[in-house]
Chains A and B, each alone.
Chain A
Amino acid sequence: MLCCWIACMMSMNCLINCQFSCTEASLVGDSGCTEMWFKVWDKISTCGLKLHHHYYQFIGSTRVSESWWRKLLLSWVICWTVVSIWIFCYMNSQATEKRKETLASMCDERARMLQDQFNVSMNHIQAMSILISTFQHGKNPSAIDQTTFARYTERTAFERPLTSGVAYAVRVPHSEREQFEKHQGWTIKRMDTLEQNPVHKDDYNPDLLEPSPVQEEYVPVIFAQDIISHVISMDLLSGKEDRENVLRASKSGKGVLTAPFRLLKTNCLGVILTFAVYNRDLPLNATPNERVQATDGYLGGVFDVESLVEKLLHQLASKQTILVNVLDTTNQSHPISMYGSNASDDGLELVSYLNFGDPFRKHEMHCRFKQKPPWPWLAITTSIGILVIALLVGHIFHATVNRIAKVEDDCNKMMELTKQAEAADVAKSQFLATVSHEIRTPMNGVLGMLHMLMVTDLDVRQLDYVRTAQASGKALVTLINEVLDQAKIESGNLEPEGVQFDLRAVLDDVLSLFSGKAQDKGVELAVYVYDRVPEMLIGDPGRFRQIITNLMGNSIKFTEKGHIHVTVHLVEEVIDSIEVETKLLPKNTLSGFPVADRRQSWKGFRTFSQEESIHPLSDSIHLIVSVEDTGEGIPIEAQPRVFTPFMQVGPSISRTHGGTGIGLSISKCLVSLMKGEISFVSIPKIGSTFTFTAVFTSSSSSSKEYKSQQINNHTNSVSSEFRGMRALVVDPRPVRAKVSRYHIQRLGIHVEVVSTFKQGLSIISQRSNVTHMVLIEQEVWDRDLNSSSLFINNLEKIDLSTSPKVFLLSNSIRSSRANPTTSGVCNLTVIPKPLRASMLAASLQRAMDDGNKGNPCYGELPSLSLRSLLLGRKILIVDDNNVNLKVAAGALKKYGADVVSSSSGMEAIELLTPPHQFDACFMDIQMPEMDGFEATKRIRDSEQNINNRIHFGELSVQTCNNVLNWHVPILAMTADVIRATHEECLRCGMDGYVSKPFEAEQLYQEVSRFFH
């Protein structure tokens, strides 16, 4: 999941990154750039997708090696660095290009202007040459003299914006020199000396010039504009530049330019434009020779380039931004600068070609920006931004990968630890199992020997020692079982079973377990189960019993006087009756001692806050069970840790009362296993009330018809004897009377409760209702013995067809026996408490059959009860060991059972294939050929088979002894007391186990679960 998320994040990042870049690109406002960005975006998104894909592949298949990630990261960083550098270069070049274009356009503009103006000037000069040819040479005498020329040129100077002056030189052959000189009044002077020794303007004196040497012909200047009048009389042919010019001009018939040179006098850099003046109109295709022949003179214009260009540039805006150089590049290797500084600059320079109409001369205009190009900030920020983003993404990626690696490492470590812990747990369990086994085996020896020791001749002190030792040993074995239980629950290995059981019978059993102790202490035990609680429930009776036993065990441990009262209600009923029971008087309890209000203990239960969750129609039965005692209570400070394992109120507790403090925590676990809650309320010196809820399933309505085989109609047969009888309970205490009534009603007897003898008598004397028995609470009896005996007498006096039997409900057998008055009264049977259906039935039966036999001894409960339970039962014993078989058979026979022996599992299976007559089976586990587990499994399979067939009507019920649901109780016989074996037994469908050799108590406990 994490990996997927990261992959998504990365692609998202790419997306954002690209979008960001795109916006930047659009900011630049270059369509080409945007296009380029889209390409990049495409590339990146595909790359992202690929990455995504790769990621999945890698995560899906193998663990990503760290080096792979490192390489990817490195390539990512390098890739993005390259990309950002490229972006920088690209943007930079774009900017430069644009600058160049601007420069080019500016440069071209200037060049064009210069050229245009030059051409204008040149045209004008050409026009002038025609003018001169017309008026100087066409007329004779000449119409133009120096003054005219000067004035004319002066006044038309605006037409020639680029010329600083115009002059006219005439062609004079040597033959005409003298005449010419005479005519003009000056000699023709040479120019070259002047060129060689340039003079300052102020020092210039034309008279000092040397006359021209003898030449074939001369071209002296005759007219000149005022500003250049100093050139008059100079022979142009004597000047090197001028001579070439003059000759070229006459040949070409077009304007001809000189190379730039320092002008005479002004010493400025200038160019002279020369036009030939022809004496006639020449055709366009005239040869140079013809032209030379036709030449009369030359018109020259001086261009002062520097000042002129300066002037021109002034007219244009943004002069400041660029530098202009004008060069004459006729000689490519040595260009002559005509204008502009020579400051060489490596920076951007642009060249525009100028065409001044002279094909021989080439001119160029060089333009440069004055300032250096500004830093390309936009490119820099963009590329750095992209790089930063990429690095950040890389960092996130890196961090994520590191994180993943770390988490993976941690996970591995954790798994390692878990494995270790699990191994340790297994080791612990094994250790516990082994140790407990190892401890229990010798402990059994110790206990056995102690048992033997007790029957030898011992004095009182020795006997006490032995008893203590035995008790300690038993406590140790119990502790080991409990610790194993706790470990089992904690590891979650314990699953509650779902078998059908009789809740009331379970409670009776538990009650009988504690009855001895309670009688010793003089504590009254009572169980009350609400009428509407179904008779049969489906759940885990063993665990339920364990909880009740734990709670009652605790209660009985800490209670010295008063009572322990177990009540079972339906949760619905309790909710309904909350208001009714609020006026519970402190005296109105079982024994009259005040108790902790149990309603306080269930305040926090979830079940109560969400009442709607309990559907009365659903099959689940929510029970609420309270165990109320009048013991010493739990100190307030110890209450929060009551359910913590091995926590006891104080170290002194375990010394005085024994126990490990694990019981309640086990109970809590078990309760939560039954989807219930447990809580308590305790008031020191008054008592504690523990309450828990548990969820069971009611055995469905159809179950009323079929009774499980094991709940044979034993109880029913007993109770049916009393069905329809009427009983009277004399008890002023309503709670106790309720308990008594509950138990008597279970036998089908109609009960009436009165609080005094007087009321009792009046009811009995009503002839319409025959009262068969009167049960008197001992407390009432003892309070006033006189009225008691009076009541008996009166009872005898009432002439009835059947005089009611009188019973005394006594808390302690000994006290009632010891009481002479009680024993003195005849026809009085003592029923010992705690009341249990089976006990009550037995007592009543005995009294009804023969009232004179006296009280049976109930102290030897297990043996007697065993006898009553096993009498006449048909039991199969399976063991491969003949001796064991014999001994076990003997033991069971002793209790009156009808025993059948079998020495192998196969035989047992045959015998136990329904229909059969067996009530139970005891099976050895370790047998050759087929062990007990396997045999049990097969028996259960065949039972299931038969049950199914009955269910689907393939077999009639009659053929199967009228049993609808075959399930013979199978008990394992094992010398192995280890819990795990027990679990294994239950897993294979066995119902319990007994240890070899048989021990009466354990046998009773196990057997009592099936026979009633």
Chain B
Amino acid sequence: MEVAQMQRRLVDYTKTLFMEFLGCSVLQLQQLQDESNPDFVVEVVSLFFDDSEKLLNDLSTALDQPNVDFKKVDAHVHQLKGSSSSIGAQRVKDACVTFRNFCEEQNIDATLRCLQQVKHEYYLVKNKLETLLRLEQQIMAAGGSIPMIEMGF
């Protein structure tokens, strides 16, 4: 694949990603990355993946308990909400907000539904981000530069 083509694909992909899943935060993340810190985005995103997967596992276990500790669940969801908000995973964040509301109500069925929803959104965004990062790496590997998406900061 030619570099230019890949670059164009990356730009298109990023744009669709923003329209659907991500807030402008990811763009800001990208802007934070510079010569002194070239892998910043990758680091942050992989950190996000690790964190989130751990949290989702914790959530699943917590909700499987006979006596659900909603405080703990809420804390987990809060964490997830914070990181997803930072990364710009807007839909995950929204799902987390709903999740927390049900936590307050202590509604187990609804929280379980929410967990599924969050998981779904998370894997979706993970997929997208991984694709994005892979594209970038391919471009880098091909010796091209990652095109900056002008969004202003």
Contacts and interface: CB of A to CB of B under 8 A. Distances in A.
A997 B150 contact: no
Contact of A926 (B34, B78, B153): B78
Given A884-B83, A890-B32, A926-B78, A452 B24 contact: yes
22 contacts: A448-B23, A448-B24, A452-B23, A455-B150, A455-B151, A455-B152, A882-B51, A883-B44, A883-B47, A883-B48, A883-B51, A883-B83, A884-B85, A884-B86, A886-B44, A887-B25, A890-B33, A894-B34, A926-B78, A928-B75, A975-B82, A997-B28
B23 A887 contact: no
Given A881-B86, A882-B47, 13 more contacts: A452-B23, A880-B79, A882-B51, A882-B83, A883-B83, A884-B85, A886-B86, A887-B44, A890-B32, A891-B32, A893-B36, A975-B82, A996-B86
A711 B31 CA distance: 31
B24 A890 contact: no
B32 to A, nearest CB: 4
B18 interface: yes
B32 A997 contact: no
A887 B152 contact: no
B12 interface: no
B37 interface: yes
Contacts of B51: 881-883
A930 to B, nearest CB: 13
Nearest to A894: B32
B16 to A, nearest CB: 13
Interface string A440-482: 0000000010011011000000000000000000000000000
Contacts of B29: 887, 890
Interface of B: 18, 23-25, 28-29, 31-34, 36-37, 40, 43-44, 47-48, 51, 75, 78-79, 82-83, 85-87, 150-153
Interface residues of A, number: 23
Interface in A862-907: 863, 880-884, 886-887, 890-891, 893-894
A894 B153 CA distance: 12
A933 to B, nearest CB: 16
Contacts of A891: 28, 32
Nearest to B153: A1000
Contacts of A455: 150-152
Nearest to B75: A928
Given A890-B37, A997-B25, A883 B86 contact: yes
Contacts of A452: 18, 23-24, 151
Contacts of B152: 451, 454-455
A718 to B, nearest CB: 26
A893 B33 CA distance: 10
Nearest to B33: A890
Interface residues of B, dominant DSSP:
helix
Closest 9 CB pairs of A and B: A883-B83, A890-B32, A455-B151, A881-B82, A887-B86, A884-B86, A883-B48, A883-B86, A886-B44
Contacts of A928: 75
Contact of B40 (A882, A890, A997): A890
A769 B48 CA distance: 65
A1000 B24 CA distance: 14
A666 B102 CA distance: 39
Contact of B43 (A451, A454, A886): A886
B142 to A, nearest CB: 26
Contact of A890 (B44, B82, B85): B44
A40 to B, nearest CB: 77
A997 B27 CA distance: 12
A863 B31 CA distance: 13
A882 B87 CA distance: 11
Contacts of A996: 82, 85-86
A764 B44 CA distance: 60
Contacts of B82: 881, 883-884, 975, 996
Contacts of B33: 890
Contacts of B25: 887, 997
A928 B34 CA distance: 33
A362 to B, nearest CB: 119
B42 to A, nearest CB: 11
A855 to B, nearest CB: 23
Nearest to B72: A928
Contacts of B24: 448, 451-452
A886 B40 CA distance: 9
A525 B69 CA distance: 59
Contacts of B78: 926
B85 A975 contact: yes
A996 B81 CA distance: 12
Contacts of A863: 153
A276 to B, nearest CB: 140
Nearest to B29: A887
A887 B82 CA distance: 11
B49 to A, nearest CB: 10
Nearest to A892: B32
A886 B47 contact: yes
Interface string A413-456: 00000000000000000000000000000000000100110110
Interface string A974-1012: 010000000000000000000011001000000000000
Contact of A893 (B37, B75, B87): B37
A863 to B, nearest CB: 8
B32 A893 contact: yes
Contacts of A887: 25, 29, 32, 44, 86-87
B51 to A, nearest CB: 6
A976 to B, nearest CB: 11
A886 B29 CA distance: 10
A887 B83 CA distance: 9
